[in-house]
Amino acid sequence: MTDVARTPSPGSTRFPVRDMTFRLSPLLFTLVWCAQAFAANPGPAERLARMAAALRSLSYEGTVVYLHGNQLESLRVVHRVEDGQVRERMISLNGPVRTLTRGKGGVTCALSGSRPISVPGQGIGREMFHAVALDPEALGDHYGIHPLGAARVAGRDTEVVGVIPRDRLRYGYRFYLDREHGLPLKSDLMGQRADPLEQIMFISLDLLPAGESPSSAGPATRPPRSFGSARPAPDFLPWRFVSLPPGFVLVMHDDWRDTGGQPVDHFVLSDGLASVSVYVETNPREGLEGGTRIGAVHAVGKRVSGHQITVVGEVPPETVGMVLAGIRPGPGERR
């Protein structure tokens, strides 16, 4: 009886289990190999997510060169994650000394020829501090994310990921991501032409030991919030935006008083990657009329109903112009 049951009838497709396993083993092996290969070679979106995680968790110091136009600058950078908080110090190595420190207390920037600029790190809206996750699906409408091959930067192997805009209203990026740690060792800011507008690249990099970056606790290790998850309610805002550039939404509103005691409303709009700030001041002494820029950062301003409106962002000039043209008095109380 047992022998009969083990013998397949003529024309049957049934095989003994041992035989089936033998026949399926190449397929299983292929599946396992593909899974391993996928894990070892994540896609470009996964690489970008890994980059964001590396920036939030790794400590490093090094020297970068910054090329904008035909100007070449060098900067010393120290980036530490301590108690879950990113602390960064940057100093220019050529020209007049300029420094920037970023930490729990905020950002302090000392430029030559002007008083230091400080932005507090605590308060309404400040918890956003670089803590919003990149959402590849949300980016998909306005950017394409593509692998661009491999390159060697600062003596290390990198995988290059391109974030390529689908229109002329935002810049593109090429990130050269360290194959081992995911840190971006080089970044190209791309305009509409083939040549990068700006390039920044490590020429030396020292990763600090993990013991010096206790990232196991603290806010920086919390999962970053998703893009646009806490948008301000437009009905309560003193200004509103119509006909924004495609993909840009209001993600933050804050207000404070400037050094002269005058109120300032600050709005941040973003498409998930690029962002634009809108500042509304009440009767300031000086204000920007028309457009200007610093590198790839463009600014444009005008007076509206006794208020000075200034739009600033690392976007093409057309984009800041569209945002400025789209601002209107809102239903909320305006000071």
Partner 1 sequence: MSEQQRQHVSALADGELDATLVRATLSALGSNERLRGAWERYHLIGAALRSEWIHPECRRLSTRVGKRVATEPITPKRPPTRPAWAFPLAGAALAAGMAFAALVGVPWLFDLRSEAAPSPGLSAAGLPPEQFRLAGPVRWHLDAPALETKLDRFLVNHQAQSPVSGMTGFLPYATLVGYGARR
**Long-range contacts from 255-260, C-beta under 8 angstroms, 24+ separation:** 258/284, 260/284, 260/285
Can you name the residues that pair with 281 across neighbouring β-strands?
264, 308
Which residue has 């390039």 as its token pair? 199
Q: Which is nearer to partner 1, 196 or 238 (CB)?
A: 196
Among 145, 280, 296, 324, binds partner 1 (CB under 8 A): 296
> Torsions phi, psi of 159, nearest 5?
-105, 135
Among 57, 59, 213, 310, binds partner 1 (CB under 8 A): 310
Q: Which is nearer to partner 1, 92 or 330 (CB)?
A: 92
Smallest separation (angstroms) from partner 1 to the CB of 48: 7
Which residue has 């809108």 as its token pair? 278
Q: Interface mask (CB under 8 A) for partner 1, residues 234-273, using x and -?
A: -----------------xx-x-----------x-x-x-xx
CB 174 within 8 A of CB 160: yes
Among 169, 313, 316, 327, binds partner 1 (CB under 8 A): 313
Smallest separation (angstroms) from partner 1 to the CB of 234: 18
Measured CA to CA, the distance from residue 85 to residue 191 in angstroms comes to 33
Ranges within 115-174 binding partner 1 (CB under 8 A)? 115, 117, 119, 121, 125-126, 128-132, 134, 171, 173
Smallest separation (angstroms) from partner 1 to the CB of 85: 14
Ranges within 206-235 binding partner 1 (CB under 8 A)? 227
Decide: is 11 part of the binding site for partner 1 (CB under 8 A). no
What does DSSP say about strands 263-270 and 99-103: parallel, antiparallel, or unpaired?
Answer: unpaired
Decide: is 295 part of the binding site for partner 1 (CB under 8 A). yes
For residue 62, give the nearest of 179, 187, 173, 154 by alpha carbon: 154
CA angle 168–288–97, rounded 5-degree value: 85
Decide: is 195 part of the binding site for partner 1 (CB under 8 A). no
